[in-house]
Structure 1
Amino acid sequence: MNPLGPGDPLRLGPYRLVGVLGAGGMGKVYFAHDNQGRPAAVKVLLPQLSNDRHMVQRFLREAEAARSVTGRGVARVLAAQTEGGRLWIASEFLAGPTLEQAVDTYGPLPDEALRALAASLADTLGAIHAAGLIHRDLKPANIVLTSSGPRVIDFGIARPEHGLTLTTTGQVPVTPGYGAPEQVLGQRVGPAADIFSLGAVLAYAASGVRTYSGGHVAAVQYEVVHGEPDLSRVPEPLRVLIGPCLAKDPAFRPSHDQISTAFAPPRRAERIWQQGALAADIQQRETSARQWSTLPGTVVAQPPGRRRFLAGLAAGAGVLAVGGGTAAWLLKGEKEPGGPGNGGTDTTKDAKAVPAGRPVWGPLPAADPWSPPARAVDGMVLFGARDGGLVAYGAADGKKKWVDVNVTPSSEFLVLPDGLLVAVDAGGSVHAFVPSSGKEQWSAAVDAYVLLAADDEALYFMTRDKKIRAVNTKTQKILWTVTSAFGSGYAAAGGGRLVLFSDAGDVRALDRRSGQQAWERLDLSNYGAIPAIHDDTAVLAGTSLRAVRLTDGKDVWSVPTGRGAHDWSSAVIEGDRVYTVATYMLHCRRLSDGAKVWATDVSASYQPMDSPHVVGDYVCTVTAKDPKSFDAVALHKDTGKPAWTHAQGSKKSLKLTSDGKRLFLLQNETVTAVSGGVA
């Protein structure tokens, strides 16, 4: 699974998107979770195709086709949006390799496994045909092997039996070597076309090679129509069963019922998916899927009523949604159950009176568990509210100050140097709020899509067509716009530069005043991280921790991680100290020359985009020392000696932020403020 890019949506209906499972010419498939933590695969039509009537109709047909098929052999459709906004289909997430991956990795299937596969797929085709549909694209890549057996996916070109093909002249919407001769020729097809595809699939699974081959697509298709299948590598007992499926004349192919009977797998042959190397592979993928649900931003609780509509706007924008134009709907003085002033236990205390590492207030059941990390500014801590919208609590007393139900923090939100909070609505307008009250100060219709960074003069963001744009925060006028293939959600501004860090690990610096490229560095990391800027120096994470001059991008110093080590994480700079994480160690380095001040093993939970946080006399990060819990750990920032650990008792993702006096912990639905020992 690949990480989400800046242009990917974060929410679609009740689903929170976590990563990209695959992509094609028609759409992308994302890994997602619903509000109950149930995984799903969400297929989304590419935005640029939303005005293509042919592609939209094809996508709608896929949704309806997949919905109409029931049975354990297909991926069940869970939900879909087929009108208005971005079109998507959510189906069961199947944890397992495709048949193509399994054969490529483990070789041809043995006799019992092949028979079990044949019987299962024949039964599934029976269910598809009983619904009046033809799959039309059965192939190894569209068959997923799970612990409960093979499952058929992708109804992208499925049609009713009486339907014509979806092609125009000269186009064949089928994988070469698996489509039936009549399908290759663009003729009307029936259930027998899927039987031909099944025969080609079984021949591949039994031999490890395709039964039709050629130097190019036309040659393969010619062999399908005029040649004979190469079954020489298929074991003889299976060859006589597979051969009839590949008959040129559809009338001579067996039915799915005849195939189920002919292959007749031995008793308990289905256990093949639950033992051996293939089963271990499936189990590992199932474990990974469960782990993904503990990572930041995996599940979204769908807000009810009007908030559900606003969450839909956020899905369309892929960033913060500020509904209702410039109006701020503030619900002041609402109470949270179990929090201060709500009849529950009041844990609020003065920070000066609370020893470092002890709770100042909370935990409060107040947060959207998949909110971005909280922002602490102007005596407030702001984060996504449990029931939708943006909520502000007093950083010192833990009391709710205001809620704006029109703001859904589904993506990063920024704080300007003058202290204003900025967000982007679904129409691309930027809105700036006073954090202490939620009052809107200004807005600008500037086609914003993803907020990147801000300095004392400008706000920098990506537009919906992936250009980089700067807007003056005093006048709200556009300063410059540049076309860039270097789209990134990881950026920092300072020293006259906007520094962009791409998902691929490349870094580019733009001149603040003109937007022109000042310098670039390639292949610094395996993924994106957030740069740290201090005066005329940028500290970049990656395979090496390096400080570079903002003027020309040249190294001031560089420190490698070492062989087999995790890359350096995003860093935080305080004075002449750089704090970062690499390979479970929390490091302190001198900003001037990169020399090690100290390094302490804290069993850090490695999250490359998250930097440590300086709180009073301590530097804090997330530790995974307890295998059952992600906890906050603090070291003395001058010596690196352990100071305290705040145990959370949960393996859910833990996100930290700080106002310099307190550490704020957001985990699951709770928010806790921990004292840094500073008034």
Structure 2
Amino acid sequence: MGTHRRLGGYRLLDEIGRGSTAVVHLGMDSAGREVAVKELSPEFAADPEARQRLAREVSAQSRVRSPHVARLLDADVTGERPYVVTQYVPGCALGDLVEAYGPVEARRLPRLARGMALGLAAVHDAGVLHRDLSPHNVIVLGDRPTLVDFGIAHPAGADQVTRPGMVIGTPAYLAPELIEGRRPTRASDVFAWAATLAYAATGRPPFGRGSLHGVCFRILRGQADLDGLPEPTAELVRLGLRRDPAERPTARWFAGALAAWGTAPGAARSRTLVA
């Protein structure tokens, strides 16, 4: 154990993830608890823009409190080796789980869907947009999902607008308005939630695979492949994938609808949609 690298007050045990600018380690704090330590890669450690993005990530994630969202524990974005420490979430990424074992069973879908909706609602309640909700940013243990990776999150209403041809996020789960270069909103996150749920239920990205151009074309045309999606999950997914963001219910509404369906089938259908 003494041969492991240290970063701040944390021992780095193993690499568990890697992105374009950062590496995520399984770490251990001074009390012996497991944590996730995200460190900027050496070639980006001195890059002011990379440090600024990491600072935005810390600012966004620090606002959120939910058992369905990985908790921020510590950070140092000004030191020689900038890093962020979050709660270590045991389990498996939803994408890896589906790839290995196939679609989530219909009886398990409502609890998974509601947990994701509750996590997303907490993010939105904190005034934050996640912007990259996808199967690989949802960690599942049993039927309990936890949202992770706030790498491109930012405050709702912030002056950040994408441009046509500029893709920020996981392409297969992008809302059509983002592909068109419009401002991200809570409704954009809801679209990603619905697309992620469709993937969990069918084992297929709802807008197919292949070229970025082909996937984006199908998203813009609303050509979602929902074949085999069980009810009532299919009805919720269709609501979340509505082309007009103003017509998509909120994450909080979806969480309530799933709770109602779990106790009294059909009860959620009588509710008024709140976009």
Task: Give the TM-score, by structure 1 length.
Answer: 0.37
Partner-residue secondary structure (3-state), 1:213 = coil
Sequence identity (%): 37
Deviation at 1:167, TM superposition (A): 5.4
**Paired position in structure 2 for 1:609:** none
Structure with larger Rg: 1
Residue type at the aligned position of 1:131: A
2:28 is equivalent to residue 33 of structure 1? yes
Which of 239, 255, 259 aligns to 2:254? It is 259
Report the aligned-residue RMSD: 1.9
Cα 1:24/1:80, change in 2 over 3 Å = same
Matches within 5 A, 1:6-85: 10-85=5-80
Structure 2, unaligned runs of 5 or more: 264-275
Deviation at 1:147, TM superposition (A): 5.0
Partner-residue secondary structure (3-state), 2:20 = coil
Deviation at 1:168, TM superposition (A): 6.9
Matches within 5 A, 1:297-446: none
On the 8 A contact 1:132/1:161 being kept in 2, the answer is yes
2:162 is equivalent to residue 162 of structure 1? no
**Paired position in structure 2 for 1:145:** 140
Partner-residue secondary structure (3-state), 1:177 = helix
2:194 is equivalent to residue 199 of structure 1? yes
Partner-residue secondary structure (3-state), 2:232 = helix
Structure-2 separation of matches of 1:241 and 1:24: 32
Structure-1 separation of matches of 2:220 and 2:174: 10
On the 8 A contact 1:143/1:152 being kept in 2, the answer is yes
Cα 1:20/1:129, change in 2 over 3 Å = same
Larger helix share, 1 or 2 = 2
Deviations 1:56-90 (A, max 9, x none): 21111111111111111111111111112111001
Structure-1 separation of matches of 2:155 and 2:104: 32
Residue type at the aligned position of 1:67: S
Which of 151, 174, 179 aligns to 1:184? It is 179
Structure-1 separation of matches of 2:163 and 2:246: 26
Deviations 1:125-171 (A, max 9, x none): 11101111000000010000125821000001101111244757743
Matches within 5 A, 1:506-525: none
Deviations 1:530-570 (A, max 9, x none): xxxxxxxxxxxxxxxxxxxxxxxxxxxxxxxxxxxxxxxxx
Count of residue pairs the alignment pairs up: 260
**Paired position in structure 2 for 1:222:** 217
Residue type at the aligned position of 2:225: D
Partner-residue secondary structure (3-state), 1:209 = coil
Deviations 1:618-651 (A, max 9, x none): xxxxxxxxxxxxxxxxxxxxxxxxxxxxxxxxxx
Structure-1 separation of matches of 2:164 and 2:241: 25
2:189 is equivalent to residue 208 of structure 1? no
Cα 1:60/1:68, change in 2 over 3 Å = same
2:239 is equivalent to residue 247 of structure 1? no
Cα 1:193/1:169, change in 2 over 3 Å = closer
On the 8 A contact 1:166/1:173 being kept in 2, the answer is no
Structure-2 separation of matches of 1:165 and 1:181: 17
**Paired position in structure 1 for 2:119:** 124
Cα 1:228/1:148, change in 2 over 3 Å = closer
On the 8 A contact 2:164/2:179 being kept in 1, the answer is no
Cα 1:181/1:21, change in 2 over 3 Å = same
Cα 1:164/1:177, change in 2 over 3 Å = farther
Structure-1 separation of matches of 2:252 and 2:162: 30
Partner-residue secondary structure (3-state), 2:172 = coil
Structure-2 separation of matches of 1:214 and 1:239: 20
Deviation at 1:214, TM superposition (A): 4.3
Task: Give the TM-score, by structure 2 length.
Answer: 0.89
Structure-1 separation of matches of 2:227 and 2:169: 25
RCO greater where, 1 or 2, for CA within 8 Å and sep 6 or more? Answer: 2
Structure-2 separation of matches of 1:90 and 1:259: 30
Cα 1:122/1:90, change in 2 over 3 Å = same
Structure-2 separation of matches of 1:229 and 1:170: 21
Which of 108, 129, 132 aligns to 1:134? It is 129
Structure 1, unaligned runs of 5 or more: 1-5, 268-679
On the 8 A contact 2:190/2:240 being kept in 1, the answer is yes
Structure-1 separation of matches of 2:125 and 2:172: 25
Residue type at the aligned position of 2:94: L
Deviation at 1:99, TM superposition (A): 0.8
Structure-2 separation of matches of 1:115 and 1:125: 15
